[in-house]
A = this chain, B = another copy of it.
Amino acid sequence: MAIDHLDGRIIVLLAREPRIGVLEMSRRLGVARGTVQARLDRLQSSGVIRGFGPQVDPAALGYPVTAFATLQIRQGQGADVRAYLTTVPEVLELLTTTGSGDMLCRLVARSNADLQRVIDRVVGFDGIVRASTAIVMENPVPLRIIPLVEQAAGEPAEHGPGRDTTDRG
């Protein structure tokens, strides 16, 4: 699944001005409305665009502290740990990584003191052997996708040259 120039421009435009409509997009991109609509449908049905959910800032919700916990899981307890951590609201993300029974866990908390409570709740589960936590201090590059989209679309990006592909209309 690759995307072309137009797909890339649609995604980037959408990322920059999410409230924009299909009609306005077609004007900005200089193509027909039906084209944008068809492309958008295809991007969504092919899974490139998962959705347009609101991006909520945990800090603004009262959870300004973010941390990553590396968890070492007891053999065969992986499924249980997953199921348990799913029930903890402060667990925003959980990934299994290479290494024997390791998981990486993104947490938030109301304060450093509260983080202790969250960590206790997380590592208090039986299947977790050991945990090490790193508190996030700064976020120089917030989760982004635009540069990758530009590269995938062969767009000339701001940073780093895109690949030169044949421009078919």
Check A54 for interface membership: any CB of B closer than 8 A. Answer: yes
How many residues in A have their beta carbons less than 8 Å from beta carbons of B? 69
Q: Which residues of B contact A141 (CB under 8 A)?
A: 82, 85-86, 91-95
Q: Which residues of B contact A106 (CB under 8 A)?
A: 143
Determine how many copies of this chain the complex contains. Answer: 2
Check A96 for interface membership: any CB of B closer than 8 A. Answer: yes
Check A98 for interface membership: any CB of B closer than 8 A. Answer: yes
Task: Say whether B89 contacts A150, CB under 8 Å.
Answer: yes
Q: Say which one of A27-35, A55-63, A123-131 lies at the interface with B.
A: A55-63
Q: Which residues of B contact A99 (CB under 8 A)?
A: 134
Q: Which residue of B lies closest to A108 (CB)?
A: B148
5 A-B pairs with the lowest CB-CB distances in the bound complex, closest first: A94-B141, A89-B147, A87-B159, A18-B52, A97-B134
14 pairs, A vs B, C-beta closer than 8 Å: A11-B54, A15-B53, A18-B52, A47-B59, A49-B54, A61-B148, A87-B159, A89-B157, A90-B148, A92-B141, A94-B140, A95-B140, A96-B137, A106-B143
